[in-house]
Amino acid sequence: MLYIIFILTLLDMIGLWINEDHESIFLFIIIAFIVYMQNKNMIFVLGIPLIFVTLLILLRTLFRGSHEGFFDYETYKAYDLQQWVKKYVEKDNNKYADFTENISDELGSLSEKVRNVLDNPMTEQEDVRDQYVNELKDFMLMIDIMPNDDPLYENDQVVYVRKMIRAYKRGRRRRLRRLRRQQRRQDRASNENEEVQDMEAQDMEGQDMEAQDMEGEDIEAEGFNQTVKGLSKMMKSL
């Protein structure tokens, strides 16, 4: 039993580390320490925090993760969304083209929105021709916030768009994790450069001090030689 719990705990910790869920890892350690102070049985020490943290992650996913926004207003770029849509529909064998019927008079159809994006592409990041990309974004956003009791919620086209949205969110999370890893590497490289510069500065200071010490020793030696010469002259005069 202990081996099974240990393996489950190890796998769970690896998953949390990969997902950079440091809060859950820290909470697991705290709970495990508290349990250990009360009971030295390792089954309880590992099992209780494992169950507790897993339940908390599940609740967090239900109450917060499911309401994650379709896109981030601070980082949203129409060109990036356009490029993602191109790759997605190509990978998905252009299944979007099957959904030509308007979901409603206000929303329109997925086929129309995607086709407008593909037929009127932005050519660069700063391209101002983002009308059709933003129309697709608004279309997907309205479906993303559609309540479960909406009569259109189980519509085949709506279900397909929600699938697209989930894929987009997963890709965005991966990009954010990649950016965070790159930032950490840059920070480490910057810290290492600072340490090297500090070491070089200390070496320079050490060399300056050695030079000053050698100069002082030379002065002392010269003074000693002058004193010896003076004494020799005095002895000769006597």
Are 138 and 180 found together in one domain?
Answer: yes
Q: Answer whether residue 41 shows pLDDT above 60.
A: yes
Q: Is the pTM of this model over 0.85?
A: no
Is the pLDDT at 65 greater than 60? The verdict is no
More confident residue, 82 or 70: 82
Confidence band for 31, pLDDT divided at 50, 70 and 90: very high
Co-location of 106 and 57 in the same domain: no
- Does the pLDDT at position 33 exceed 50? yes
More confident residue, 15 or 197: 15
CA distances from 130 to 28, 109, 125, 161, 226 (A): 46, 19, 10, 20, 88
Question: Is 227 a member of any domain?
Answer: no
Q: Is residue 12 part of a domain?
A: yes
Position 232 in a domain? no
How many domains does the chain contain in total? 2
Q: pLDDT tens-digit profile of 100-116?
A: 899 888 888 999 999 99
Number of CB atoms found within 10 A of residue 73's CB: 6
The C-alpha atoms of residue 176 and residue 184 are separated, in whole angstroms, by 12
Q: Are residues 125 and 181 in the same domain?
A: yes
Tell me which of 44-58, 84-98, 191-205 is least confident.
191-205
Question: Residue 93 falls within a domain, yes or no?
Answer: yes
Question: Between 28 and 199, whose confidence is greater?
Answer: 28
Q: Which range (51-60, 134-143, 181-190, 206-215) has the least confidence?
A: 206-215
Same domain, 164 and 121: yes
Same domain, 61 and 105: no
Range of the domain at 29: 2-67
